[in-house]
Amino acid sequence: MEKLLLLGDEAIAQAAIDAGMSGIYAYPGTPSTEIMEYVQASKEAKEKNIRSLWSANEKTAMETALGMSYAGKRALVCMKHVGLNVAADAFVNAAITGANGGLVIIAADDPSMHSSQNEQDSRFYGKFAFVPMLEPANQQEAYDMMYYAFDLSEKMQVPVLVRITTRLAHSRTGVARKPSKNQNELHLPGNLRQFVLLPSIARKQYRELLGKQSQLEAEAATSGFNTYIDAADKSLGIIACGLAYNYLVENFPRHKVPHPILKVGQYPVPLDMVNKLYSECDSVLVLEDGYPILEELLRGMLNKGKKVMGRLDGTLPRDGELNPNLVAIALNMPVEKGKSIPELVKNRPPKLCDGCSHSDAFLALNEAILEYGRGRVFSDIGCYTLSALEPLESINSCVDMGASITMAIGAADAGLVPAVAAIGDSTFTHSGITGLLDAVNNNSPITVLILDNSTTGMTGGQTSSAYGKVEDICRGVGVSEEHIHVIKPLRKYHDENIEIIRKELAYQGVSVIIPRRECIQTLNRKIRQKAKAKELEAKA
Amino acid sequence: MKKDIILAGVGGQGILSIAACIGLAALEEGLHLKQAEVHGMSQRGGAVQSNLRLSSDEIASDLIPEGKADLIIAIEPMESLRYLPLLQENGWIISSINPYNNINNYPDIELILTEIWKQPKYITIDADGMAKDCGSIKAANMIVLGAAAPFLGLKPESIEKGVIKLFQSKGDAVVELNLAALKAGRDYALKNM
């Protein structure tokens, strides 16, 4: 069968379509964004009437998928690792309600934080919620595992977590497809109170969930996604999870490693397989492209057993992604070293595009805030976070989605008045509305800049849930009309914009200023698409 | 056969298009390939890099190990030097000489080129100039691909097919332009090896 050239993300998307998914819900987040984008661009998905929605945030996405699962159909939720923090309440409790239609959650982790605030390992969440997890080592496995995940979810009646990392999500190779399956029919759970987590019901179902764990382990032992590869040199045994397996075999001709390997792709990891490796080998090296989760378990609190090597004993670096060289060093193998980077090579960090509306907005804010002194601008996650860098150096915090407004409230309560919050439109509807409500109820002397470029920009310009609704939401939450201003962030309005900001900074209550101008990237894209459409029309 | 290639440049310069062409050419020849890329920087003038691996055998790591890359193909000269740690001892650097100066401490281009000329094997090419001669500066990335073509271990026809496949939706004129740029780059490289 002809192979498709697909990114890891795309392989997952195609597999979900082939496996009979009925709905996909997500919030943009690198490196997971391309999964939804692939489905939205897919003709096949359209023909199959697969529902798709860029949700307001990962929690609403998770809950929407849970609702589809309740109704008996297969649903997929996609997010980056920190997105799972936002979805956690729904995720953990979805394990206790259980699934009706297959329910799969993709968490795309980012070891080395290429574009994130941390490198948290989503496998922790799988363990925390007692759900089975799949961790592919390559794009074909990503496809195969996704194809299998819905079946596993329906067989065991639990949600399934699939964990990938950046280097798989954004790497492309040939992938073979499997036959297309039909979607499920609408069918309700046999027990119409299965999803009601009153304590009396939840206690019973939690015990059932705990009771399923040995069966989940048995599934992991027989699915083919955990493999024991025996070899002669038992002075060392190696446990390699997900991508780490590739980095291991890369170092050996014909990928033949002289030591026994337990290649882990499904959790809970079958204890028999771990035990076989541990008992037959003198020492164990644990390779994980993430936190040392298995390593820590194997080592135990007191580290009194056989020698276990990994991140915790310095064999591998404590943080950051793995790569073939780090694994070679861990194995005491010689490593090639290329030449070092010449000193004259300078950093080229990402910056705001030429003509970005955020530049104009922050230039005005910088000037308006001069009389109060710097250090009072709490910001959020988006392209505008780049204003922290030179030449703007406008902001002083960026922690998690929506934290700008709420941190400003706390700082103002401490006496830092005025406090300013700078948040994007998509981030605002993601988790800024509740913060603004707090600010109004607290009558905080804060000025909130909602930087409205009418898109979710940093992740590639996906539709923003906020579109056309920002002012109404602010009014609805109780910000008074005379303290809501829409301004145009352009050089020619620079002076009047500074004046408006200055006035609102002086006001001892909640102000919202909305610098609104469409993102030039999405604007250019629209112009190009319009031109292309006109060209095709003319030809027809 | 195996070829480990680092593609380097600045967001927006068309690195991923070069990668796609080579990828299509490799598929044409039935080779295994893996192409890992950095997303998100393309809009923001940041450094962009792709790890492109071609092989007649199955490929394990998506990332090229240090000191193992056969080629660095760069559309921006300073960027070509950023990945020297990945290049093997006798690896080739194929780089344009046209600087993309969007930082306030960009070094003197003469110093950059001198550093490239210190390496054992290189081809430096005026991609912008040659692209303009072909008809459009937008084809600069194809000039660089052409210059790299003799070192890819792929048949020239496969690469041409890759270019055609990639640009055919944009019309014949665009395809012709890019094929011309490809040829110009290749001729230059063969003359200057």
Question: B interface mutation test: which of A164, A166, A248, A348 has the most B CBs within 10 A?
Answer: A348
Residue A21 CA to residue B33 CA, distance in Å, equals 29
- Give ∠ CA A493-A495-A496 in degrees, rounded to 5: 65
| Residue contact A173–B67, C-beta within 8 A | no
pLDDT tens figures, A35-58: 999 999 999 999 999 999 999 999
DSSP state of B29: T
B22 CB neighbours in chain A (<8 A) are none
Q: What is the pLDDT of residue A88?
A: 98
**Chain B closest-CA separation from residue A251 CA (Å):** 9
Q: What is the pLDDT of residue B133?
A: 95
Residue A22 CA to residue A38 CA, distance in Å, equals 15
Q: Are residues A49 and A185 in the same domain?
A: yes
Chain A residue whose CA is closest to B60? A246
Residue B76 CA to residue B100 CA, distance in Å, equals 6
Q: Are residues A233 and A382 in the same domain?
A: no
Please tell me whether residue A517 adopts helix, strand or coil conformation. coil
**Chain A closest-CA separation from residue B157 CA (Å):** 20
| Residue contact B84–A336, C-beta within 8 A | no
Residues 6 or more apart whose Cβ sits within 8 Å of residue A476: none
pLDDT tens figures, A494-514: 999 999 999 999 999 999 999
Q: Does residue A536 lie in a domain region?
A: no
Q: In B, residues 5-44, which contact A (CB 8 Å cutoff)?
A: 10-11, 23, 27, 32-41, 43-44
Q: Are residues A214 and A75 in the same domain?
A: yes
Residue B22 CA to residue A354 CA, distance in Å, equals 31
Q: In Å, how far are A43, A105, A133, A384 from A150, measured between CA atoms?
A: 22, 10, 12, 38
A245 CB neighbours in chain B (<8 A) are 60
Residues in chain A, pLDDT under 50: none
CATH of residue A10's domain is 3.40.50.970
Residue B174, chain A, CB below 8 Å: the answer is no
pLDDT tens figures, B76-94: 999 999 999 999 999 999 9
Which of A315, A330, A345 is the last residue before a domain boundary? A330
pLDDT tens figures, B159-192: 999 999 999 988 899 999 999 999 999 999 999 9
> How long, in residues, is chain A?
540
Give me the CATH topology for the region B2-192: Pyruvate-ferredoxin Oxidoreductase; domain 3 (3.40.920)
**Chain B closest-CA separation from residue A324 CA (Å):** 6
Nearest to B103 among A170, A251, A346 (CB): A346
Chain A residue whose CA is closest to B108? A344
Helix (H) or strand (E) holding A239: strand A236-241
**Cβ distance A439 to A484 under 8 Å?**
no
Residue B127, chain A, CB below 8 Å: the answer is no
Q: Are residues A85 and A40 in the same domain?
A: yes
Q: What is the pLDDT of residue A1?
A: 63
Q: Does residue A335 lie in a domain region?
A: no
Tokens representing residue A503 in the block: 């006035």
Q: Are residues A298 and A240 in the same domain?
A: yes
Give backbone dihedrals phi and psi of B42, rounded to 5 degrees, phi first: -65, -25
Per-residue pLDDT band for B43 (boundaries 50, 70, 90) equals low
pTM value is 0.95
Q: In B, residues 62-101, which contact A (CB 8 Å cutoff)?
A: 62-63, 65-69, 78-79, 81-82, 84-88
- Give ∠ CA B147-B150-B156 in degrees, rounded to 5: 100
**Cβ distance A113 to A31 under 8 Å?**
no
Nearest to A345 among B23, B62, B82 (CB): B82
Neighbours of A516 (CB within 10 A): 19
Tokens representing residue B80 in the block: 């070509």
Q: Are residues A255 and A385 in the same domain?
A: no
Q: Are residues A212 and A279 in the same domain?
A: no
Closest to A107 in 3D by CA, of A48, A173, A54, A159: A159
Residue B115, chain A, CB below 8 Å: the answer is yes
Give me the torsion for CA of A380, A382, A388, A392, rounded to 10°: -120
For chain A, give the longest Cα–Cα distance.
78
Helix locations, A291-376, DSSP H: 293-299, 324-330, 357-368
Q: Does residue A474 lie in a domain region?
A: yes
Per-residue pLDDT band for B42 (boundaries 50, 70, 90) equals low
Q: Does residue A298 lie in a domain region?
A: yes
CATH of residue A298's domain is 3.40.50.920
| Residue contact B40–A171, C-beta within 8 A | no
Domain span at residue A136 reads 4-222
Mean of pLDDT values over B17-24:
91
Q: Are residues A259 and A313 in the same domain?
A: yes
B65 CB neighbours in chain A (<8 A) are 250-251, 323-325, 328, 335-336
Residue A172, chain B, CB below 8 Å: the answer is yes
Q: Are residues A90 and A211 in the same domain?
A: yes
**A160-198: string of b/e by CB count within 10 Å (b at 16+)?**
bbbbbbbbbbbbbbbbebeeeeebbeeeebeeeebbeee
Q: Does residue A64 lie in a domain region?
A: yes
DSSP state of A353: P
Which of A199, A222, A245 is the last residue before a domain boundary? A222
Q: Are residues A167 and A95 in the same domain?
A: yes
Residue with structure tokens 């990994």? A310
- For the sheet containing A4-7, what is the strand order? A4-7, A171-175, B32-37, B47-55, B2-10, B69-74, B87-96, B121-125
What is the dihedral sign for C-alpha A245, A262, A134, A112? negative
Residue B52 CA to residue B70 CA, distance in Å, equals 11
ipTM over 0.95: no
**Chain B closest-CA separation from residue A342 CA (Å):** 7
The pLDDT mean for chain B works out to 93
Beta-bridge partner residues of A452: A516
Q: Are residues A210 and A275 in the same domain?
A: no
Q: What is the pLDDT of residue A532?
A: 84
Fill in the amino acid letter for A31. Answer: P
Helix (H) or strand (E) holding A537: helix A520-539
Q: What is the pLDDT of residue A162?
A: 98
Fill in the amino acid letter for B52. Answer: L
> How long, in residues, is chain B?
193
pLDDT tens figures, B124-158: 999 999 999 999 999 999 999 999 999 999 999 99
Q: Tell me: pLDDT of B41 over 60.
A: no
Chain A residue whose CA is closest to B101? A348
Q: Are residues A186 and A240 in the same domain?
A: no
Q: How many domains does chain A have?
A: 3
Q: What is the pLDDT of residue B12?
A: 81
Nearest to A340 among B34, B35, B84 (CB): B84
B45 CB neighbours in chain A (<8 A) are 348, 350-351, 353
Taking CB atoms and an 8 Å cut-off, how many pairs form between chains A and B? 141
Per-residue pLDDT band for B40 (boundaries 50, 70, 90) equals low
Beta strands A261-264 and A171-175 are unpaired
**Cβ distance B75 to B99 under 8 Å?**
no
